[in-house]
Chain A
Amino acid sequence: MSTDTAARPTTRAMPATSQLATFWLDGDLFGVEVEHVQEVLRSQSITRVPLAPPAVAGLINLRGQVVTAIELRERLGRPARPAGEEPVVIVVRLHGEAVSLLVDSIADVVDVDLRDFEAPPDTMDGTSRELIRGAYKLDGQLLLALDVNRAVGS
């Protein structure tokens, strides 16, 4: 959490181009740096954790390792996923620890250019604004860059 304290200084330190693994969530396209992404899984059984913070969807078994699953819709203040829609699990590795994010569906890995980057739109509300580093203006689509460190923090 301490690594990205403010959005702008971080962007300055970033290389001119980078690769983002993108995914859909509640109709929006999000991206996380590919180097954080360990793997993508489908249809995992999730063990719920009573009394855990609402964004903690539960625990999944990743080849014998127990990994916390974060419901990104809840984290970003979006409505719950419609019943019957299976989430996709993106396993990210941060500081040597694996954490997984539940998203709607996975999309491509895209190369983004820093020149297309802008700070989060002012219309974004508080909670999700904190978790979004900014937006890349792709052709006909905005790509929201997720701050993974913050997204998995409590």
Chain B
Amino acid sequence: MEGLDDIVEEFLVESHENLDQLDQDLVALEQDPRSRDRLSSIFRTIHTIKGTSGFLAFNRLEEVAHVGENLLSRLRDGALELNPRRTDALLQMVDTIRALLAAIEASGGEGTVEVAGTVLLISAALEETPAEEPVEEVRVEPVVESPVPEASPAVASVVPAPAPVPALEKLPPAPAPVAPVAAAPEHPAEPGEPGVGGQPGRRAVADSTIRVDVDLLDALMLLVGELVLTRNQIVQYVGRQTDQDLVRASQRLNLIASELQEGVMKTRMQPIDHIWSKLPRVVRDLGLQCGKNVRLEMVGRETELDKTLLEAVKDPLTHLVRNSVDHGVEPSADRVAAGKPAEGVLTLRARHESGQVVVEVADDGGGIDPVKVGAKAVERGLVTADALARMTPADVLQLIFLPGFSTAAAVTNVSGRGVGMDVVKTNIESIGGTIEVESVPGQGTCTRLRIPLTLAIVPALTIECAGDRYAIPQISLQELVALDAEKAAAAVEDVGGASVYRLRGELLPLVHLADVLGLASDRHDGHVVIAVLSSEGRRFGLVVDRVINTEEIVVKAVGGQLKSIGLYSGATVLGDGAVALILDVQALARRALRAESAERQEHRLAAAAATSSTAERQRMLLAAIGGGRRVAIPLDTVTRLEQVRSETVERVGSREVVQYRGAILPIVRLDRHLGAFGDSDREVLEVIVYADHGRSVAIVVEEILDIVDGEAAVQSDIDDLGLLGSAVIGDRVTELLDVRAAILAADPMFYATPPALGGAGHEVAATHLMEV
């Protein structure tokens, strides 16, 4: 069926099935002419065919179905009674439709099938007047019309319905002679035959597909899952054997099992268009309702995913689309005012990416303003102003996924009822997917869903911790970092009880799996293995004892008792038959990271309570600035640690700058700022980046030494220009940097908008937000 597109093919398959049912229904109807149910069922079938054929521009088919539908609707409503003549007309309609379908299947068009006779016959049955005259007009073979002339004299002028019945009693052969009118329907039951030549070996569309119960496919999928596990087991076992025949057989088994798995998975795959096809309407209606002009574009409609997942994604996706139209795209007037085309564009994109399906809902609307989101979250009590001040804009956007959050200024009947994004998120996570949102104010928002290809079998990393094995779904895994004892000692830093690792300059919070599980790690050689995981747009490092393997695992449900622990998303059976728990990365992150931030918050509260005392508990970044001098910089003012090659430093007037992420970053060299004399011709500069309110500066130090807890520090007011004072940290006198002064040295305009002090930044940021 190369020539036919999918829609026609689907239409043919469906129609053939329906027609078979129709034959039975019509015959049964003769026995029980008053069965409303059957009439309704027949009506629906014909109605569907009519609708689709009209849509596909099969005009003759539509014509036949249309008159048939008229007759059926009147029969159904009881306006007409079914008599043999009408049954004949209906049966002939079925035959003609069959002939048309056969022609469509064979040639892609309606071919030479004539429908006028059938239409007239049905019209006659409908009008209850003999169709004698028109019939003669069309000059069909007289034999076709035999029933009509015979009946017509009796009902020439009057309309007594029962009258034709006796005359028609001998008519059962009628449909057969009628058939020749339609040229093709000689053998209506063999749709392949009457076509234009036709390749003999080809299967007809209706014969080449088969409807299968989804439960059966589910059962097959389960069995294949078991087979994959057994295969893993055998392959592992055979790996230790030397018997060549056995090895070969196991390789074959390996291959076949993989192909079978793929095949069975394919049976459950459906293009995402199945759920997308309803969205243009949703967008159109909603656009009208909101008075917005929105165009929907879809890219990758043929991307396939598991039927179960497709169903699970449908509602969240619809919600996201509605959200985009309602909140994302601005009214036309606003768009024009902002210099954008009046028509908003909503783009749906789907693609396969490393064993996952990525679905994006992107609009070119106003974007999400992190400041507003933050203010709202504070107002709703979802986050403290203090915590908010420490968040990056990306983190702030994640707040929209919190339960009870809704940015809609007014509650509309479209969205803004406070349920929404959190439900979307929960739904997506329940099928093992993830959701993230990106937004550029003024340019639009993009929500990205990552969904596993299939629920049953997922690629996973198996790791070991405290002697047990666990599986981590690959979907959350970003990279693996292995550090030997020497490196680990240097690179893993302890920040007030919480350890962090400096991954390419960024601080990665570390979570020790053994601690979370309440077990004792059995790794004592100082090596550190970190699985870098992402959850809800945040990265963290999970410290495990050992990485074992990556393998495909079959997810098994665990009992309610274990689900309620909230750390495991399920269990699986590994290649050697042992059971391993599957870690729920999202839950793990929430548990570990929230506990940590709560702890930090406590520290902060304690610190706030002790503001009068000099021993303020604060984490400090220790840096050497040359000449043996060390400065401490409050860690919460540090955004990133970077390394910059000194040849990239350029000059603007008397100031030094570097190009950094598409912006110009002013630099202050701390050694010069503080009057020390460092080694200024090093190739690589260690840089501390401080960012606030969209501006950044870089503070150059000689070397980053450590992160320490300033709790026990003894402070003195012996200071100098650019310093707040000094303290004893780690037995050494350390200067406390006046961050504000250093920043102003790099960028005098840095605090131009909001007046702020280095240490009091949070309160200022919070006030700033409240004003918005």
- Residues on A close to B: CB < 8 A? 45, 47-53, 56, 58-61, 64-66, 68, 97, 99, 154
Contact = CB atoms under 8 A, between A and B. Distances in A.
Given A47-B581, A51-B518, A97-B559, 7 more contacts: A47-B468, A49-B562, A59-B558, A59-B579, A59-B581, A66-B558, A154-B560
A51 B571 contact: no
A52 B517 contact: no
A49 B573 contact: no
Contacts of A52: 561-562, 565
B226 interface: yes
A48 B558 CA distance: 13
Contacts of A64: 226, 229-230, 573
Given A51-B517, A59-B571, A68 B562 contact: yes
A125 B518 CA distance: 31
B365 to A, nearest CB: 44
B658 to A, nearest CB: 47
B291 interface: no
Contact of A50 (B518, B559, B571): B518
A47 B567 CA distance: 15
A68 B559 contact: yes
B263 to A, nearest CB: 20
B580 interface: yes
B577 to A, nearest CB: 6
11 contacts: A56-B561, A59-B558, A59-B562, A64-B226, A64-B229, A64-B230, A66-B556, A68-B558, A68-B559, A99-B559, A154-B560
Among B559, B564, B565, B572: residue with most chain A CB under 10 A: B559
Interface in B188-213: none
A61 B580 CA distance: 10
B405 interface: no
Contacts of B558: 59, 66, 68
Main secondary structure of the interface of B (DSSP, over half): mixed
Interface string B588-607: 00000000000000000000
B519 interface: yes
Contacts of A59: 558, 562, 571, 579, 581
A66 B561 contact: no
Nearest to A68: B559
Nearest to B519: A50
A65 B556 contact: yes
Interface string B502-546: 000000000000000111000000000000000000000000000
B568 A49 contact: yes
Pairs A-B, 9 closest by C-beta atoms: A50-B517, A47-B579, A66-B556, A59-B579, A66-B571, A68-B559, A154-B561, A64-B226, A61-B579
A53 B517 contact: no
B578 A47 contact: yes
B517 to A, nearest CB: 4
Among A47, A50, A59: residue with most chain B CB under 10 A: A50
B632 to A, nearest CB: 39
A64 B561 CA distance: 20
B579 A66 contact: yes
Nearest to B223: A64
A51 B580 contact: no
Contacts of B568: 49
Contacts of A65: 556
A107 to B, nearest CB: 27
Nearest to B566: A51
B559 A49 contact: no
Contacts of A45: 577-578
A95 B561 CA distance: 15
Contacts of A99: 559
Nearest to A59: B579
A58 B557 CA distance: 14
A97 B563 CA distance: 15
B577 A61 contact: yes
A99 B560 CA distance: 12
A49 B568 CA distance: 9
B579 A51 contact: no
Contacts of B579: 47, 58-61, 66
Nearest to B572: A66
Contact of A51 (B226, B468, B567, B577): B567
A94 to B, nearest CB: 11
A59 B562 CA distance: 10
A53 B581 contact: no
A33 to B, nearest CB: 21
A94 B572 CA distance: 22
A49 B581 contact: yes
Nearest to B229: A64
B565 to A, nearest CB: 5
Nearest to A65: B556
Nearest to A50: B517
A154 B560 CA distance: 9
Contacts of B561: 52-53, 56, 68, 154
A151 to B, nearest CB: 13
Contacts of A48: 468
A68 B565 CA distance: 14
B626 to A, nearest CB: 49
Given A64-B573, A99-B559, A47 B580 contact: yes
A33 B229 CA distance: 34
A53 B561 CA distance: 8
Contact of A49 (B556, B557, B565, B578): B565
A58 B518 CA distance: 15
A62 B62 CA distance: 58
A97 to B, nearest CB: 7
B557 to A, nearest CB: 8
A51 B578 contact: no
A49 B579 CA distance: 10
B578 A61 contact: yes
A59 B230 CA distance: 19
Nearest to B222: A64
Contacts of B564: 154
A48 B573 CA distance: 14
Nearest to B555: A66
A51 B561 CA distance: 11
A63 B559 CA distance: 17
A52 B518 CA distance: 11
B579 to A, nearest CB: 4
Contacts of A68: 558-559, 561-562
A56 B561 CA distance: 9
A103 B579 CA distance: 21
A99 B230 CA distance: 23
Nearest to A97: B559
A45 B467 CA distance: 14
A56 B560 CA distance: 12
Among B560, B561, B579: residue with most chain A CB under 10 A: B579
